[in-house]
Amino acid sequence: MTSDIRRVGVVGAGAMGAGIAEVCAVRGADVVVVEVVPAALEAGQSRIEASLGTAVARGKISEGDRDAALGRLRFSDSYDELGDRQLVIEAVTEREDVKLSVFQTLDKVVPADGLLASNTSSIPITRLAVATGRPDQVCGLHFFNPAPVMPLVEVVSTLLTSDATREAATAFVAGTLGKSVVQAKDRAGFVVNALLVPYMLSAVRMLESGFATKEDIDTGMVKGCGHPMGPLTLGDMVGLDILYGAALSMYEEFKEPLYAPPPLLSRMIEAGHLGRKTGRGFYTYE
């Protein structure tokens, strides 16, 4: 196992997978992105190219840096392309059965000394680790959306994660990627969501009860508490389905009412109002 990780794989080319791959490539890692759905693979590549173009336009990186990052990225629909990776980060849909299948496949194709990590925000890392023959080499690397912008990553250790794995993952995130790191134990919500999700759900309940308007709730937290955005705007940005899934996972683990998804949140998801990505959540978007 090496602490100098330079060859990285990312499974999943959605918003999080593409963002993680972009961060790794910009910071000098050789990156392979695997996505088994061809349309999603193409969309992920386009998303990264557009994001890097925006970074150039805003003066965050030079055109040369963009071109170099794109040169360090490869895209494939085959897991076999991960056969030489030192670290593979899973960022597929937030479904335990799908993630378990991915980890079982990665265990077969990634070198025996390679590290496996999940970007999940709600599924216990231990369940994914024990699906492999290397549970001591599995950890959580929880990036925040958008990954190229947000400076924090939670490094999540299970009861089985070795010190060497935790140290190598931390060195990669802090050293190579230049992100701030918080260490978290493997419990639903980790550190950030365990504090953030109940706050966001309280805002939904306040709106649902008619106690305050969505605008006043958000303005109150921005102007009164100095938050960069209100909890309902944040929910729309994160994705209300993601918020619901995280809440449900924490409620199943702790059985505490503050984690229970409010009925309004459930109805919005059933209606397809998931936030910015669908054009409508608590607010309507172009």
Q: Point out the residues that are catalytic.
A: 121, 142, 154, 193
- Give the angle 191-196-199 at the CA atoms, nearest 5°: 145
- The DSSP bridge partners found for residue 115 are 87
Through-space distance between the first and last CA atoms of the chain, rounded to whole angstroms:
48
Q: Determine the distance from the C-alpha atom of residue 98 to the mean position of all C-alpha atoms in its chain, rounded to a whole number.
A: 15
